[in-house]
Structure 1
Amino acid sequence: MRTYPFTAVVGSDDMALALALCAVSPAIGGVLVRGEKGTAKSTMVRALAALLPAVDVIAGCRFSCDPADPDPRCPDHAQHSAAAARRPARLVELPVGATEDRVIGSLHLEKALAAGITEYEPGLLAAAHRGLLYVDEVNLLHDHLVDLLLDAAAMGRSTVERDGVSVAHAARFVLVGTMNPEEGELRPQLLDRFGLTVEISAPRDPALRAEVIRRRLAFDADADAFSHRYQAAETEIADRIRLAQEAIGGVRLSDAALVKIAEVCSAFEVDGMRADIVTARTAVAHAAWHGRTTVTRADIRAAARLALPHRRRRNPFDAPGLDEELLDAILGDQEPDPPSPEQPDPTEPDPTEPDPTEPDADGNGPDLDGPADGSSEPRAESAGDDPLPDTTDDEPGKSRPDAAADPPPDARPQTPGAGPGTHRTATPGGAFRTRLFTVAGSGEGEAGKRSRAITSIGRTVGSTPLVRGAGGSVHLTATVRAAAPYQLGRGRVGAGLLLRHSDLRMAVKEGRESNLVLFCVDASGSMAARTRMEQVKTAVLSLLMDAYQRRDKVGLVTFRGHDAVLALPPTSSVEVAARRLADLPAGGRTPLAEGLLTARETLRLERIRDPRRRPLLVLVTDGRATSGPDALIRSRRAGALLAAEHVSSLVIDCETGRFRMGLAAALAQSLAAEYVPLGEVGAQALTAAVRDSRGRAA
């Protein structure tokens, strides 16, 4: 099956450059491609594999050892022969649902039980050695698997210590992850482990979009003829990657260039030293890619643009970005260490030459590195590009949790039932650590960090017969126990165990699951007082932060005026929820019943889409209901419907003042929900309460 040509992809210069640099130097640590759906992310990654040089391997070695430099610690070292073979570089795709055994390998179960032989069965990391490892939707992969991948990519080796197996083998590969930010972000700690990151979006120019369609239709109509048109360009890029790989060892990184790299990383206030190291490696690879023997200002600039944006995230709700004007100011106009007269650089690009990003007359794709100075086309800066903290809060020097400024009054979203001039928008304060709120009972949802559940990871609490197609790890003791009574009847002679498929038992593990946390927020006039709404938004923002850390899906229902709105359908992107919350206006009547019914319908639909994920409804209100006749009675009935469906709920009471009506507490009873006053959402309030109770007991 033909692969779409790498050089035929339109308008993805930054991604093409990042992929090429990682192919030249896998030590960079791979590239993370962030972009909306349908932007050829997977197409480019699969096309890159066809451009990688073929590799020489020792015949029969399961770990693809190089005949010229065999690994003395290879598990197959004792079986290495003098025969060699050449094969194309592999593209190994890691599915989102892969287990740890499949990724790093495990004990060969059949040989262990039947023949008593302890043998390691390699996983996907071994298959990807000296090739390309591609993880689509890496943000949906379990965090512990992402850690395994990034550790192997950084160290160049995979170490397995499990099930009586102690093995280490080489695992040097080009790691590429793609993700759609709408489906949730990676944690900053994991983002930092990726060497480079690239933002990609569909072109907005109709002419470019038309060209994309034209090329895709031509490829689908006749893949061979279309690929032949780009064969010369593909061969040129493949040769360029090979030559850069051979030349990278001779590239000189001067002390002046190192100091300049350190100045750039320090100015952008990135944490740790990984950014400096990755930027240096990328700059060297960029110089080799251009055929230079000395790292120049252009190489440092190109490296910083790819290595630093994702490392500036201090808060999970911060957007990656880089202020390129500040970058240019730091780099200045002088080269860090110009080539000596005895060794001129003949490959330095001529600024008078035509722009290499334009397609040539034959329709071939653009040059991979964009303009000669390593930059891309100018782009509009977003709020996340500002490298300095926003100090517009009342407290000097304290950054706001929402990066964007409040929109002007005429640009703020209107909630149905509320006319112009009837709402205000309050800004939330800094998030705090919240108490842990869980769903009652034990579930069977996706592994996470909130409620108790039977999951794929955790402590082993039992075993169950193997079901075909089901994942998980084998429970060795239970398997042996199930097979032992039948050994004589099966005619066992000598050592070893005679197994049947029916003997296999899978481990049942108890851990924590992620949940759907649906926020139902009262934005009516009774909540519109500036101080109260700020407190409400701060509490909800803190709960969103908690949901982010516990890998939950979140949704947001708001109600005010005469109706309720699903402001955010359930999603893994808590960043979007935080932005919607920051722009939430308040004012008008209180349609509490409509809010509860909208939440109930949202949970019903989500139960159909994802039946294993249990919901937690978080109702933020003061308990008032003032919209329509019998508003209070209807709200109680709506609460009873949710309680009858056994929806785990939490009522956060926002009523303040000396004289309180206690409506939220009564509503919590009809919902069979946990009742929490607004001031007790934070973990510090719970700690203080426990401390006080201990003091009274003493």
Structure 2
Amino acid sequence: MSTPFPFTAVVGMADLRLALLLNAVSPAVGGVLVRGEKGTAKSTAVRALSALLPELAVVPGCRFSCDPAAPDPGCPDGPHEPGAGAARPARVVELPVGASEDRLVGALDIERALSEGVKAFEPGLLADAHRGVLYVDEVNLLHDHLIDVLLDAAAMGASYVEREGVSVRHAARFLLVGTMNPEEGELRPQLLDRFGLTVEVKASREPELRVEVVRRRIAYEDDPAGFAARWAGEESGLRERIAAARALLPEVRLGDTALLQIAATCAAFEVDGMRADIVMARTATALAAWAGRTDVLAEDVRQAALLALPHRRRRNPFDAPGIDEDKLDDTLEEFKGDGDGDGDDDPGPEGGPDGGGGGGIPPQQGPEGSDTPREPASGQDDTPASDAPAGPEPEAPSQPEPRPAGAGAGEQSAVRAAEPFRTKALSVPGLGDGAAGRRSRARTEHGRTTGSRRPRTALTSLHLTATVRAAAPHQRARGRSGPGLVVRKDDLRQATREGREGNLVLFVVDASGSMAARRRMSAVKGAVLSLLLDAYQRRDKVGLITFRGKDAEVALPPTSSVDAAAVRLESLPTGGRTPLAAGLLKAHDVLRVERLRDPARRALLVVVTDGRATGGRGAGGAAGGLDPVALAARAARLHAAEGTASVVVDCESGPVRLGLAGALATSLAGTAITLDELRADSIAGLVRDVQQQDRAGRRDRAGAQDQVRQGQAARRAA
């Protein structure tokens, strides 16, 4: 086993180190989500934590790491009698991005379960991680169903495996740590909430810190054992401090004032649910124990808020995580009470948690470390997570951008997007085999059962009826006697299921002068932003191509980060001629490359234009005399010939419409919808208007009939 990089040798990243140490002191805090750009030593810091965790006593021979002092009564390897156990180091178990559900939770031998009636269970990674650390690198790239299983196990402290009435349960209590690069896509808000703490890391721009990172990394790679030995004293000291904080933790008092500050802070920042309050309380208690105190102070509550709240305040994928520290300070001051100090008079051993989030970490660690050979080393300054660069804010007016060199005189600066709305569901026709998602129909591992087949690899989902039907004709030949069913491997049938897949949604956006006319670009950007939000919810990859002037450009290569696409869209200027053919040809090139990279992921081409073509290749009699419109039609037919599903969002407006977008959709063999038709509530709103008009008409007719009846009654009485 290779020597891990010492935790105390990691340079900087004070918030990350503090969050990991707090979870080591109190696993009830709920784990850590580490967000940051690539090459910032996220993985190195997490792997280094294992050397600081105390050794575990386990039942000898138990595959589920049961505690000999209190063994799990439901352990599949049990029952165990309480007694002495064997000691082993705590584990850091890594969950690969491409892992299957069986690898995560374990697998049952279905053949033995049916034929012998025994629970032959092979433990998964959740069993390996029990009483240790489960590390998920690139957690945002995991399939949704894996994340659901993982976080359910983390919340319940147990893993359940159920297959066709055969059930196995085992304990699964672990420290959950996930790392992610936001550029590759975001986690859903409800999943973000399941991580106790979150920290933002970024590379330092200070040359001295970067030099120290490189120096330590090279020293470690040249002699890992010797480098670790030089830091052994600091590692031992930090390990002892963790043990002391764990021992002190039960004695820490969380007073009424601190509880009121926690509740007031969560209410002030409009955090959904009560999980944030509980996490903040546990984090503040762990901070006090880490500082060697038995009372929770306002500074502990403040630091807990900075770690526990930023990721819980996101309302949509375009919101940047963060917290207003001035508002936080005002809230804490308002609810500080009469008997609570600010902590300045009693900083605790080694200064306690400092303002930079250091939490009293020994100063000899220095500011940041290096990364594994897979992830290049980088540095990290001590900027709080709340100072991370903010994402797009559609509410704020866009600032005019400098006109690019060589731009035409008619170019206009960027305009802000209109308010996004819920869009109609756009999908790719047919049945695919792509990654799990929520857009188009596909054959998936999860969904409704549609049939059965012979398993091509390991059996993952048994179709019981088809298996029994396959085995039934052979029972006499197999010598069956009495109850039961003689099942052979060839009888097993895999259930085929139909669910939904995620697609590659490639946007081709017209940013020419014709789109800027009549101030339509704001509405167009709002529509594309709405489609991006829909792509985020349906777990798609997205790409963005814009065309204007003389050519087209890939504003964003296909990625899972829809917020990155929103940033590019927000700063998009307009103006110039309309090279529609160039935009379609650029899209053809991008899709061709993506088909080679990910053949199973089907594409949906969304062209946002008014259909005009006035420039680019072919203008002025080029390309064999073809005009821009004919060139655009030829480029569109390339997509149609390859079977690319296409939608044209018609942005034409005004009393006179040329119908050019509809003609383009015909060439693409796709469909055309207007901006108004793109709204999911447009049809429903039309129906409501008709119903309201019908009800009003019925009321008017009923009133008129009442008047007639009253008149007739009056005449009869006379």
Same structural fold, with TM-score higher than 0.5 when normalized by the shorter chain: yes
Alignment-derived partner of residue 390 in structure 1: none
Deviation track 1:391-416 (CA, whole Å, cap 9, x = no partner) reads xxxxxxxxx95266523332x7x4x8
1:676 aligns with 2:665: no
The code of the aligned residue for 1:17 comes to L
Asked whether 1:661 is paired with 2:662, we answer no
1:424: Cα distance to partner?
3.2
3-state SS of paired residue (2:600): coil
**Helix, strand or coil at the partner of 1:210:** helix
1:397 corresponds to? none
Q: Which residue of 2 aligns with 1:199?
A: 200
1:409 is the counterpart of 2:401: yes
Match of 1:544 among 518, 523, 532: 532
2:555 to 548, 567, 580: 567
Q: 1:632 aligns to what?
A: 629
Which secondary structure state, in structure 2, belongs to the residue aligned with residue 676 of structure 1?
strand
Letter of the 2:45 partner, please give it: M
The residue correspondences of 1:10-409 to structure 2 (distance < 5 A) are 10-80=11-81, 82=83, 84-332=85-333, 347-350=348-351, 364-365=365-366, 376-377=382-383, 381=387, 384=390, 402=394, 405-409=397-401
Cα 1:617–1:346 shift into 2, 3 Å: closer
Counterpart mapping for 1:381-460 below 5 A: 381=387, 384=390, 402=394, 405-410=397-402, 414=404, 418-419=407-408, 422-460=411-449
SS at match of 2:4: coil
Cα distance in 1 for partners of 2:323, 2:106 equals 39
Given the superposition, is the C-alpha separation of residues 353 and 667 from structure 1 closer, same or farther in structure 2, using an over 3 Å criterion? closer
Which of 583, 586, 594 aligns to 1:595? It is 583
Question: 1:618 aligns to what SS in structure 2?
Answer: strand
2:683 corresponds to which of 659, 682, 686: 686
Distance 1:618 1:285 in 2: 50
Deviations 1:26-59 (A, max 9, x none): 1111110001111111111111112111111223
The DSSP-based 3-state class of the residue aligned with 1:78 is coil
How many residues are matched? 671
- Name the aligned partner's letter for residue 406 of structure 1: S
Q: Which moved more, 1:424-433 or 1:566-575?
A: 424-433
Q: 1:352 to 1:585 in 2, by over 3 A?
A: closer
Structure 2 Cα separation of the partners of residues 45 and 10 of structure 1: 14
More deviation, 214-223/80-89: 80-89
Confirm or deny: 8 A CA contact 1:592 1:625 kept in the other structure: yes
CA distance in 2, matches of 1:83, 1:480: 47
Q: Is the 8 A contact 1:260 1:336 kept in 2?
A: no
Give the one of 443, 454, 466 matched to 2:455. 466
Distance 1:226 1:333, change over 3 A: farther
Q: CA deviation at 1:555?
A: 0.5
Quick one: structure 1 residues 281 and 561, their matched pair in 2 at CA, closer, same or farther if it must change by over 3 Å? same
Q: Secondary structure at the match of 1:585?
A: coil
The more displaced of 73-82 and 431-440 is 73-82
Distance 1:436 1:4, change over 3 A: same
| Alignment counterpart, residue 522 of structure 1, candidates 496, 510, 516 | 510
Return the offset for 1:290: 1.4
| C-alpha distance in 2 between matches for 1:365 and 1:492 | 72
Q: Mark the CA change 1:353 to 1:288 in structure 2 (over 3 Å): closer, same or farther.
A: closer
Q: Contact conserved, 1:257 with 1:337, CA < 8 A, in 2?
A: no
**DSSP-derived class of the 1:586 partner:** coil
Superimposed CA distance per residue, residues 456-507 of structure 1 (whole angstroms, 9 cap, x where no aligned partner)? 2112222333334x78434444445555666777788998777666554433
Match of 2:521 among 533, 551, 559: 533
Does the 8 Å CA contact 1:64/1:129 hold for their aligned counterparts? yes
CA distance in 1: counterparts of 2:538 and 2:81, whole angstroms: 46
Distance (whole Å) between structure 1 residues aligned to residue 582 and residue 594 of structure 2: 18
Of 637, 641, 644, the residue aligned with 2:641 is 644
Deviation of 1:608 after TM superposition, in Å, equals 0.8
What CA distance in whole angstroms lies between the structure 2 residues aligned with 1:570 and 1:305? Answer: 33
The alpha carbon displacement at 1:573 in A equals 0.4
Q: Per-residue deviation at 1:296?
A: 1.2
Q: 2:452 & 2:176 partners in 1: Cα distance?
A: 35
- 1:389 alignment partner in structure 2: none
Q: Distance in 2 between matches of 1:535 and 1:129?
A: 52
Q: Structure 1 residues 265 and 668 mapped into 2: Cα distance closer, same or farther (>3 Å)?
A: same
Question: Aligned partner of 1:47: which letter?
Answer: A
For 1:403 and 1:51, how far apart are their aligned partners in 2? 46
Q: 1:558 to 1:322 in 2, by over 3 A?
A: same
Query: How far does residue 180 in structure 1 lie from its aligned partner after superposition?
Result: 0.5
Structure 1: stretches of 5+ with no match in the other structure:
369-374, 386-399
- Asked if structure 2 preserves the Cα contact closer than 8 Å seen for 1:401 and 1:430, the reply is no
How far the C-alpha of 1:667 sits from its partner, in A, is 1.1
Q: CA RMSD in A?
A: 3.4
Change (3 A) 1:485 1:218: farther
SS in 1 for 2:440: strand
In 2: Cα distance, 1:644 partner to 1:172 partner: 54
What whole-Å deviation, never above 9, does each CA across 1:573-625 have from its counterpart, x for those lacking one? 00011111111111111111111111111111111111110000001111111
**Structure 2 Cα separation of the partners of residues 550 and 264 of structure 1:** 33
Q: Report the secondary structure of 2:306's partner residue.
A: helix
Q: Distance in 2 between matches of 1:356 and 1:478?
A: 59
1:70-129 CA-partner distances (Å, limit 9, x unpaired): 333444443546452222112221122223333233433243134222355433222211
Distance, in Å, in 2 between the alignment partners of 1:273 and 1:355 is 27
Instruction: Show the counterpart of 1:395.
Output: none
Deviation of 1:65 (Å): 2.2
Contact 1:59 1:83 in 2 (8 A): no
Task: Report the CA distance shift for 1:635/1:367 in structure 2 as closer, same or farther (over 3 A).
Answer: closer
Larger Rg: 2
Corresponding letter in the other structure for 1:27: A
Quote the Cα distance in structure 2 between the aligned partners of 1:379 and 1:131: 27
- Give the structure-1-normalised TM-score: 0.88
**Distance (Å, rounded) in 1 between the aligned partners of 2:505 and 2:689:** 31
Structure 2 counterpart of 1:454, which letter?
R
Task: Give the distance between the partners of 2:498 and 2:280, measured in 1 at CA.
Answer: 42
- Confirm or deny: 8 A CA contact 2:261 2:336 kept in the other structure: no
Distance 1:500 1:643 in 2: 48
Identical aligned residues as a percent: 60
Larger CA deviation: 176-185 vs 228-237: 228-237
The question of whether the paired residues in 2 share the 8 Å contact of 1:33 and 1:178 is answered with: yes
**Which residue of structure 1 lines up, in the alignment, with residue 545 of structure 2?**
557
Task: With the length of structure 2 as denominator, give the TM-score of the two structures.
Answer: 0.86
Say if 2:608 and 2:648, in contact at 8 Å, map to a contact too: yes
Report the Cα distance in structure 2 between the residues aligned to 1:118 and 1:351, rounded to whole angstroms. 51
> What secondary structure is seen at the aligned counterpart in 1 of 2:327?
helix
Question: C-alpha separation between the residues in 2 aligned to 1:505 and 1:232?
Answer: 58
Post-superposition Cα deviations, 1:284-316, rounded to whole Å, max 9, x if no partner, equal: 011111111111122112111100111111222
Three-state SS of the structure 1 residue aligned to 2:545 is strand
- TM-fit CA distance, 1:167: 4.3
Shift of 1:237: 1.6
